[in-house]
Amino acid sequence: MRKKRGMAKAGAILVIFLLLTGTTQIVCSQEARAEKGFGSVISVNPFGLLFGIANAEYEKVWKPNMSLIGQGLFSFRSSGNWKWSIFGGGVGIKRYLNPTAPEKLWFGGNVNLQYVSAEYWGGKDSSIFLGLTGLAGYKWIFGQFTVEPSVGLGISIGSLSIGGESVPLAGVGPAVGFNLGYAF
């Protein structure tokens, strides 16, 4: 029963993410493009895979100096007696300092929801976590390929209860990214 409820929550998060990404595509005008004519970018963080995290981002130019983003995340890890999996998605905005979206210096933020399932010494729990992140970055476009480092600060809010013990996993920490992508 608990596993079905957890999968239902995870499915709901995925549906919300897909709806938000689809809505972004519809709402954003095809006319709002940078000088080079790029209206969208799909990117991934290859270095996240070193830590067992797969994440991707879709960016849609909304105005010449602004883009909307949709993100997806999946992670499965184990360490000692801990095992956990995380998946979720989020939405955000990037504000470019010049009317060059989706290229050059930007700042922005995002909000995300993550379904977290953890196991410790046979005890299990799952929960929904809320994340808020503020970022700044720079995107280069070479032909149609993109390179985008970013840094910022994030906060995560949520808790799990395993074996009768509450495990609060809230806190503030650094947010570092390095995405490689394709502009079209």
Q: What average pLDDT score do residues 26-51 get?
A: 72
Question: What is the C-alpha end-to-end distance of the chain, expressed in Å?
Answer: 44
Q: What average pLDDT score do residues 110-115 get?
A: 96
Rounded CA separation 17/23 (Å): 10
Per the CB < 8 A criterion, the answer to whether 75 and 53 are in contact is yes
Residue 101 CA: distances (Å) to CA of 45, 50, 89, 92: 20, 29, 22, 15
**pLDDT tens digit string along 55-112?**
999 999 999 999 999 999 999 888 888 888 999 999 999 999 999 999 999 999 999 9
pLDDT of residue 39: 96
Q: Among 114, 103, 117, which residue's Cα sits nearest to residue 148?
A: 103
**pLDDT tens digit string along 118-157?**
888 888 889 999 999 999 999 999 999 999 999 999 999 9
The domain 2-183 having CATH identifier 2.40.30.30: the answer here is no
Confidence tier at 26 by pLDDT (50, 70, 90): very low
Per the CB < 8 A criterion, the answer to whether 101 and 65 are in contact is yes
Of the two residues 168 and 67, the one the predictor is more confident about is 67
Rounded CA separation 148/152 (Å): 13
pLDDT of residue 164: 76
The amino acid that residue 74 corresponds to is F
Residue 40 CA: distances (Å) to CA of 5, 31, 33, 51: 35, 12, 9, 27
